Structure formats: structure tokens, C-alpha cells
């Protein structure tokens, strides 16, 4: 198992949509990328959920062909350190963060365009928004170089980010009044060679309280 080094996350570039949508690249130190990979060993197997843009429902979807697992917030010392760093980077309280999600896309894996914000078109989403507020931002960190395919694509913005180990893409889509920005529509292009590993952090308007807690 790799040793967790000091977690360095540097906001290197900003760009993207303008208006309510902000995009940024960040960089994660290689030791920490290895450590995140090691920590996930043996915990995979469940298909991942996404929010269907048409219905707002959380779905296990043929629109996403990847496998994933969640860490609980501050599940161990290393994850707690990442949670703290991402809280500082996004300028939101640690407690507003959902647990880190790690995704694995095999060859052919990807996702159709979708929003990360919750649409209040079903009871589960309405209850989640009532508990924790809306999702406000997403940080996707790439854990490996992908030889071909696997870009994070923003079709409305005409923006695509290639997965490079240790880089990340950050985007915001909800203002203080709770208005969401549909320009944050995004997808993972299919991996055509190799595989793709990412870790995703979603932040909420308020303390994140999961269903049943």
C-alpha cells in the first residue's frame, strides 16, 4: 500500500462557463493518488447512480457504465485530510461535503450527459434537498492517465477535459438563491483504451445529511 504523503491540492487554472458556472483544474500529489487507489481495493462492485436529466430520478442507468463506491465523510485519517483540503478549496464547510465517491470506467465505460444537481421531481430528491440543500459543486479528480477517450465533456459549453493523473476538474452550478445552471450538463466520454479512475466530491448548500441518518 502506498504511504499517504502530504495532500497538496493547488488551484492552477480557472476557466469554463462564466456566469454561475466555474471551472478549474487542480492537482493532487502522486502519493495521494496511489493511496486513494489502494484504499478502494475490494470495495467495488456496485453500479453507480446518476440523476436522469429528463425525470430528475436517481437511476442505475444504462447511461453510465462504471463501477463505484463511496467513502463516508472522514471515514479514516487520510480521507478526513482530503475532505478538509477540498473544503478549503471550495470554500465550503467540511460538513457540507458528501462522502467521496470513487468511480472506475472499463473500456467502453462512460456516462451520458447529466446534471449533478438534484431535480425536485421525485420524493427522494425533494427530501434530500430539504435535509441538505441543493448540490452546489463537483470536483472530479483523475486518478490515472487514460490512453484514449474518457474526457469529461460539457456539451453546452463546448468544453472537454482530458483525464490526466492528479489533475481535476471543478465546476459550480447553484447560486445562493438555489438557482441551478443547466450549462453544467456533463458526461464522461467512453474510454476507448485503458481504463479510467476518478474520485468525485459533491458539495451541498448545508450540512450533508444522508437518507436514513
Ligand X SMILES: O=C(O)CCC(=O)C(=O)O
Where on the chain is the footprint of ligand X (CB under 6 A)?
Answer: 103, 111, 116, 138, 140, 152, 186, 188, 198, 200
CB of 130 to ligand X, least distance (A): 22
* CB-based closest residue to ligand X: 152
Beta bridge partners of 138: 171, 202
| Cα separation, 47 vs 115, whole angstroms | 18
Q: How far is the CB of 115 from ligand X (least distance, A)?
A: 9
Residue 200's nearest CA partner among 143, 128, 117 is 143
Q: Report the C-alpha gap between 198 and 102 in whole angstroms.
A: 6
CB of 6 to ligand X, least distance (A): 26
Of the pair 32, 184, the CB lying nearest ligand X is at 184
CB of 104 to ligand X, least distance (A): 10
Question: In the complex with ligand X, which residue's Cβ is closer, 32 or 138?
Answer: 138
Q: Would you tell me how many other CB atoms lie within 10 Å of the CB of residue 14?
A: 10
Q: Which is nearer to ligand X, 4 or 128 (CB)?
A: 128
Task: State whether the Cα torsion 26-16-105-122 is positive or negative.
Answer: positive
Amino acid at each position: 500500500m502506498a504511504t499517504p504523503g502530504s495532500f497538496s491540492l493547488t488551484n492552477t487554472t480557472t476557466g469554463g462557463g462564466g456566469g454561475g458556472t466555474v471551472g478549474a483544474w487542480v492537482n493532487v500529489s502522486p502519493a495521494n493518488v496511489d493511496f486513494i487507489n489502494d484504499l478502494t481495493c475490494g470495495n467495488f462492485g456496485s453500479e453507480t447512480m446518476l440523476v436522469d436529466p429528463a425525470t430528475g430520478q436517481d437511476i442505475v442507468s444504462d447511461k453510465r457504465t462504471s463501477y463505484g463506491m463511496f467513502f463516508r465523510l472522514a471515514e479514516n485519517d487520510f480521507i478526513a485530510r482530503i475532505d478538509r483540503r477540498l473544503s478549503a478549496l471550495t470554500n465550503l464547510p467540511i460538513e457540507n461535503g458528501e462522502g467521496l465517491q470513487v468511480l472506475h470506467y472499463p473500456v467502453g465505460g462512460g456516462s451520458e450527459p447529466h446534471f449533478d444537481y438534484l431535480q425536485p421531481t421525485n420524493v427522494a430528491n425533494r427530501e434530500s434537498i430539504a435535509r441538505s440543500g441543493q448540490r452546489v459543486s463537483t470536483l472530479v479528480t483523475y486518478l490515472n492517465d487514460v490512453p484514449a477517450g474518457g474526457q469529461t465533456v460539457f456539451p453546452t459549453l463546448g468544453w472537454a477535459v482530458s483525464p490526466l493523473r492528479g489533475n481535476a476538474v471543478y465546476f459550480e452550478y447553484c447560486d445562493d438563491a438555489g438557482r441551478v445552471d443547466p450549462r453544467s450538463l456533463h458526461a464522461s466520454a467512453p474510454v476507448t483504451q485503458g481504463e479510467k479512475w476518478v474520485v468525485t466530491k459533491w458539495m451541498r448548500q448545508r450540512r450533508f445529511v444522508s437518507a436514513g441518518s
